[in-house]
């Protein structure tokens, strides 16, 4: 697979990474552990080198899964994980943010053990902590870099002022935020800023939490432990309107001989050479489909047609509930 450099940091990864969260958490019951380990091995064999996890996914079990699966090929892959939440033992959900420097150090040591490694390639602040100055956060990660425990510092869903302040203390290698055909917020300010600063961009939920694959209908129901069931864009009234967008994208995809999911990923890859989407999946066939998107070439005319289609079908519903929106772009 084609490789991409994440900004000016020297960190080189596959053009597509793999978001591992859904293997353990958020989208219904966890996948079979043995099958997920096999899928992670398949991803490596198919050329993926960037694997994304976090302590909060589970919590903790996703890091353990990734660590076990990738231990035999540790020198061939880039593992990204995240800190920044307060997690109570036995609780499935975090209890607010916590980016105190001492907590960052504790999380790093715990993550290293779960990931079965002596270093974290990319360590993200999962969400900005409004109680802790970002300069202190960047300083704590800088200390971990000096100690050899972390290679690169990342931010997730941070706003322009936070990015600039953090970058002034220790270089930010990557910003990870939601970016897809139905979440184009980064185009307003963020993409220009990270390009200016030489920061790479990792796009999570590049398939709209699966919606842009075209496999959902207006009558789709979600399991109680699938967080999409409470997501504003997946509520009945919004879902009915959003299906129209995907139907239009399906028609465009057919003219290119690709799937709507592949079209969505190819569009992202065409936006900037330092953008790396990290779609997640639990299935080998979906993994292969996503990887094939990296070989699709889109002309300026194709890109214009895609964006005109999206503009003609405005997305219904916010991407998070009120609490979730309050935690982004800080």
The answer to whether residue 124 is catalytic is: no
Peptide bond into 31 cis (omega under 30): no
In whole angstroms, what is the distance from residue 222 CA to residue 228 CA? Answer: 7
Q: With H, G, I as helix, E, B as strand and everything else as coil, classify residue 176.
A: strand
Burial status of residue 113 (CB atoms within 10 A of its CB: 0-12, 13-18, 19 or more): exposed
3-state secondary structure of 55: coil
Q: Tell me whether the omega of the peptide bond preceding residue 59 falls within 30 degrees of 0, making it cis.
A: yes
Q: How far apart are the first and last CA of the chain?
A: 35
| Helical segments of the chain, H only | 33-45, 61-70, 101-114, 134-146, 160-169, 190-197, 236-256, 260-271, 284-292, 300-312, 322-326
Q: Are strands 275-277 and 200-204 parallel, antiparallel or unpaired?
A: parallel
- In a 3-state reduction of DSSP, which class is residue 155? strand
CA 306 – CA 308 distance, rounded (Å): 5
Work out the number of other CB atoms within 10 angstroms of the CB of residue 97.
21
Report the alpha-carbon distance of residue 324 to residue 149 in Å, rounded: 30
Q: Which residue's structure tokens are 């080998």?
A: 284
Q: Burial level of 272, CB count in 10 A (0-12/13-18/19+)?
A: middle
Catalytic residue among 27, 57, 124, 204: 57
State which H helix or E strand residue 21 sits in.
none
Q: How far apart are CA 83 and CA 101, in angstroms?
A: 11
Active-site residue list: 57
């Amino acid at each position: 697979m084609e490789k991409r450099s994440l900004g000016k940091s020297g960190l080189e990864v596959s053009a597509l990474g793999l978001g591992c969260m859904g293997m353990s958490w958020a989208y219904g019951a966890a996948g079979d552990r043995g099958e997920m380990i096999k899928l992670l091995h398949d991803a490596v064999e198919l050329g993926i080198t960037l694997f994304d996890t976090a302590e909060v996914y589970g919590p903790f079990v996703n890091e353990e899964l990734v660590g076990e699966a990738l231990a035999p090929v540790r020198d061939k892959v880039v593992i990204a994980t995240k800190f920044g939440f307060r997690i109570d033992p036995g609780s499935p959900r975090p209890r607010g943010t916590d980016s105190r420097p001492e907590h960052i150090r504790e999380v790093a040591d715990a993550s290293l053990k779960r990931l079965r490694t002596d270093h974290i390639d990319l360590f993200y602040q999962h969400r900005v902590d409004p109680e802790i100055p970002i300069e202190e956060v960047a300083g704590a990660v800088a200390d971990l870099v000096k100690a050899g425990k972390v290679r690169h510092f990342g931010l997730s869903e941070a706003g322009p002022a936070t990015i600039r302040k953090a970058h002034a203390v220790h270089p930010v290698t990557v910003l990870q935020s939601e970016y897809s055909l139905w979440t184009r917020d980064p185009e307003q300010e963020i993409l220009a800023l990270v390009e200016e600063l030489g920061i790479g961009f990792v796009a999570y939920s590049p398939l709209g939490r699966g919606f842009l694959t075209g496999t959902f209908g207006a009558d789709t129901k979600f399991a109680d432990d699938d967080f999409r069931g409470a997501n504003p864009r997946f509520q009945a009234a919004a879902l009915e309107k959003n299906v129209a967008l995907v139907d239009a994208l399906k028609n465009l995809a057919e003219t290119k001989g690709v799937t709507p999911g592949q079209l969505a990923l190819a569009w992202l890859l065409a936006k900037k050479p330092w953008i790396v989407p990290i779609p997640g999946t639990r299935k080998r066939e979906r993994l292969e489909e996503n990887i094939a998107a990296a070989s699709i070439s889109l002309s300026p005319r194709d890109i214009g047609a895609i964006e005109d289609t999206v503009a003609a079908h405005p997305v219904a519903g916010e991407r998070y509930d009120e609490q979730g929106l309050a935690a982004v772009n800080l």
